[in-house]
Amino acid sequence: MKKLIDELQQAAVQRETRRHFLHTCSTGLGAMALGSVLASCDFLGKSDEKGSSVTSAQPLGNDDRSPTAVRPAQFPGKAKRVIYIHMAGSPSQLELFDYKPELAKYNGKDCPQELLTGKKFAFIRGVPKMLGPQGKFAQHGQSGAWVSDYLPHLQGMVDEITFLKAMHTDQFNHAPAQLLMHTGAARLGRPSMGSWVTYGLGTENDNLPGYIVLASGGKQPDAGKSVWGSGFLPSVYQGVQCRTEGDPVLYVSNPDGMSRDMRKNTIDAISEINQQQYNDVKDPEILTRIAQYELAFRMQMSVPDAMDIKGEPQYMLDLYGVDPNKGSFARNCLLARRLVERGVRFVQLFDWGWDSHGTDTSTAIDLGLHDKCRQSDQAVAALLQDLKQRGLLDDTLVVWGGEFGRTPMQENRDGQTLPFMGRDHHLDAFTVWMAGGGVKRGFSFGETDDIGYYGVKDQVHVHDLQATILHLLGFNHEKLTYQFQGRPFRLTDVAGKVVKPILA
């Protein structure tokens, strides 16, 4: 009760702000000036320079609905939800999907100077040796897609997949590259893709967050939690990270001595205080605060149920390769299916440990990379199979990839070859694949040169990938915007084009 009284007192003090003074005590000129400021913060709605709506999402502050209420897309989209699987550190496309037999002929030879001149690498210095592919490749499925023996389970699902083999990015260090991939900018402060999607579409389940994050591999992504943050969007749209061991969300359980009815009464009282404050100042973050308190209360029942896989039949656990008593990437894949099945709009899986430099066995492309593939391959293939047999794959978009690619030369440092086989970061060519949700089945788009160094046909930039994902969800990426600091911002910044040849 003391905390409730303290919050009431704090709310009363906060109402005595300059905004409150200008709104209630001035001649009106202050309020007019305030209105121009609020317009730049999106409190007064969103419109383009011609006055037409630039997003279907209703502006906070002009809408009595929950800020996460379901909203229609700008046009009918093939996908209703997204599962984005990010392999943090970036797997080598040359060992998995981009088959380059010519590269094997150069194995152990000095890298040609034209591949080094004017280039920046994260670690390579001097003249490195070329390194041939370590996986054994073969064609699979009716599509004849090339996949290596590192991914034996995924080989059986290639006819559901579109491969983007000439991806490229602007960043060759992990944190900025991850930020660019997920927020559209290499610097902190922009909303993540999942935040944009839930801002535009809302969520189909009022009892679960619209955007849930599951991490594995023992560490967070290099860019930290900013890759699922809401940036300048209201914080109700940020990703909610759930744990796969213990309570799914910290403090989701009531403390000792607190009954559910008592918790509900407390939440109602806090919401009433917040509503009074909102009525005074019209700050949309107050609506966010109300929604989050109420969602947290509902999550006490819904989240433990969604995250409890012990009720799954044994054959389903076997399909994914899951130990129900341990957290793992495989468990997260199964949870992803359970979450989208329950109406979660955007599920983000981060798996750390895919940085294959060759400094030790865990980062060697013939050892550590192989181990990471063994830990994830069965579960990813099972997720696609499971979604398909439940009829969910048609309108669930699955995306898999890292933040950049790996070089066709072996990494060296200070001119010295490392003790294990590894590859440095590479921004000019890598592979991302997509499945379901309106993309073609059994299709490959884009080509790299004979050694996998440059994209030579149908290149796709990170912003193009983002534009395509939004298009599949029913949004023109140029018109899903948010007014901030005097201009409309969007996920794709000032670039990006939809990759139309991959659309089904």
pLDDT in tens, 164-212: 999 999 999 999 999 999 999 999 999 999 999 999 999 998 888 999 9
**Contacts of 64 by beta carbon, 8 Å cutoff, 6+ apart:** none
- The answer to whether position 156 is within a domain reads yes
How many angstroms separate the CA atoms of 350 and 221, rounded?
7
pLDDT score for 452: 97
- The answer to whether position 38 is within a domain reads no
Q: How many domains is the chain built from?
A: 1
Region for 18 from its dihedrals, namely left if φ exceeds 0, alpha if ψ lies in -120 to 50, beta otherwise: alpha
Say what the pTM is: 0.83
- The answer to whether position 294 is within a domain reads no
pLDDT score for 446: 98
> Are the CB atoms for 274 and 284 separated by under 8 Å?
no
Q: Tell whether the torsion through CA atoms of 306, 310, 311 and 313 is positive or negative.
A: positive
Query: What does the pLDDT average to over 230-237?
Result: 93
Provide, rounded to the nearest whole percent, the portion of the chain with pLDDT above 70.
Answer: 79
- The answer to whether position 147 is within a domain reads yes
How many angstroms separate the CA atoms of 202 and 197, rounded?
8
> Are the CB atoms for 196 and 480 separated by under 8 Å?
yes
- The answer to whether position 448 is within a domain reads yes
> Are the CB atoms for 431 and 405 separated by under 8 Å?
yes
- The answer to whether position 195 is within a domain reads yes
pLDDT score for 310: 85
> Which tokens sit at 144?
């004849």
Query: What does the pLDDT average to over 33-42?
Result: 41
pLDDT score for 49: 34
CATH number of the CATH domain containing 209: 3.40.720.10
pLDDT score for 13: 58
Q: Tell whether the torsion through CA atoms of 442, 78, 197 and 378 is positive or negative.
A: negative
As beta bridge partners, residue 85 has: 349, 400
What letter represents residue 241's amino acid? Q
DSSP 8-state code for residue 238:
S
Q: Which region among 194-203, 220-229, 265-274, 346-355 has the lowest average model confidence (pLDDT)?
A: 265-274
pLDDT per residue as tens digits for the range 397-456: 999 999 999 999 999 988 788 889 999 999 999 999 999 999 999 999 999 999 999 999
pLDDT score for 30: 41
Q: Which CA distances in Å does 348 have to 61, 249, 446?
A: 29, 16, 25
- The answer to whether position 479 is within a domain reads yes
pLDDT score for 269: 77
pLDDT category, 37, cuts 50, 70, 90? very low
In the predicted model, is pLDDT for residue 71 greater than 80?
A: yes
As beta bridge partners, residue 83 has: 347, 398
Quote the domain boundaries for residue 381. 81-250+312-502
- The answer to whether position 484 is within a domain reads yes
The residue behind tokens 């320079």 is 49
pLDDT score for 95: 98
